[in-house]
Amino acid sequence: MATALTAWSADELRDVAELLVSELVANAARHTGRTRISVSVHRRKSCVWVGVRDSSGALPCRSEPKREAESGYGLGLVETLSSRWGVAWAPRGKWVWFELTTATS
């Protein structure tokens, strides 16, 4: 992903993109029990689209963790730090995706 962001002159998005991908991959592994997870990154006109795919049909669920909790913040971070996010159904699973607006948009 870092190589793609550099090629698209979107290095400023690297830290946030890596954080959000790590949260979505961790959620997919932890909450779906699936071992096959994929990540896709696409450049669009004014943003970068990033999706994490798993083979579960279960929808992600945003929680409100207690302040001292060590987990439960993932989708809240995605919601706060991305321009948009959502879920798209795929054959045999789903994509949980987010967009980050580029500085050159």
Q: Where are the beta strands (DSSP E) in the chain?
A: 38-43, 47-54, 84-90, 93-101
**Tokens 């909790």 identify what position?**
69
Question: Model-level pTM?
Answer: 0.87
CB atoms within 10 A of CB 38: 14
Tens digit of each residue's pLDDT, the chain (105 residues): 889 999 988 999 999 999 999 999 998 888 777 678 999 999 998 999 999 999 888 888 776 766 775 666 688 899 999 999 999 999 889 999 999 999 865
For the chain, domains (ranges, CATH) are 2-101 (3.30.565.10)
Give the per-residue pLDDT at 104.
Answer: 64
Give the per-residue pLDDT at 65.
Answer: 64
DSSP strand pairing (84-90 vs 38-43) = unpaired
